[in-house]
């Protein structure tokens, strides 16, 4: 990577917003497994931007989940509910991507749009 740490933070946060828009487009087409994947990645990109800003290193998705919990959920900087949402998305993204004969439904996926948007907004405030 070339560029500064700030460039990478901005890039990751931009990807979070763009990926959330992708999830909305997929939901319009009723592509629920793909929509849950994009919701997870929207949250993941926002969280990795946040971790980068705090200089918290993580080499894996599970590591990012644990660092987010340790430094932002358990400390009360972010609501516990968002930690639970992110953990659920982490699990469901894997199930949607890798489980055979499994499909998400509109009823399972649509309730996650609002919390992911809230997460992205809180991350944006924290990045300022």
* The pLDDT value given to residue 98: 76
Gap between the Cα atoms of 72 and 80, Å rounded: 9
91 neighbors 108 (Cβ within 8 angstroms): no
Name the stretches of the chain with pLDDT < 70.
1
Whole-angstrom CA distances from 60 to 40, 43, 83, 96 are 14, 14, 17, 19
pTM for the whole thing?
A: 0.93
Would you call 107 exposed, middle or buried from its count of C-beta atoms within 10 A (0-12, 13-18, 19+)?
exposed
**Domain 5-127, CATH class in plain words:** mainly alpha
* The pLDDT value given to residue 124: 95
Gap between the Cα atoms of 14 and 61, Å rounded: 18
């Amino acid at each position: 990577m070339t560029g500064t740490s700030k460039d990478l933070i901005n890039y990751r946060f931009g990807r979070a917003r763009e990926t959330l828009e992708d999830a909305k487009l997929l939901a319009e087409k009723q592509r629920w497994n793909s929509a849950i994947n994009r919701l997870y990645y929207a949250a993941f990109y926002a969280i990795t931007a946040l971790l980068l800003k705090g200089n918290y290193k993580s080499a894996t998705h599970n590591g990012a989940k644990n660092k987010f919990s340790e430094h932002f959920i358990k400390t009360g900087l972010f609501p516990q509910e968002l930690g639970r949402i992110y953990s659920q998305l982490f699990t469901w993204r894997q199930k949607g991507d890798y489980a055979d004969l499994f499909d998400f439904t509109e009823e399972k996926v649509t309730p996650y749009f609002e919390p992911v948007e809230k997460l992205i907004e809180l991350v944006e405030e924290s990045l300022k």
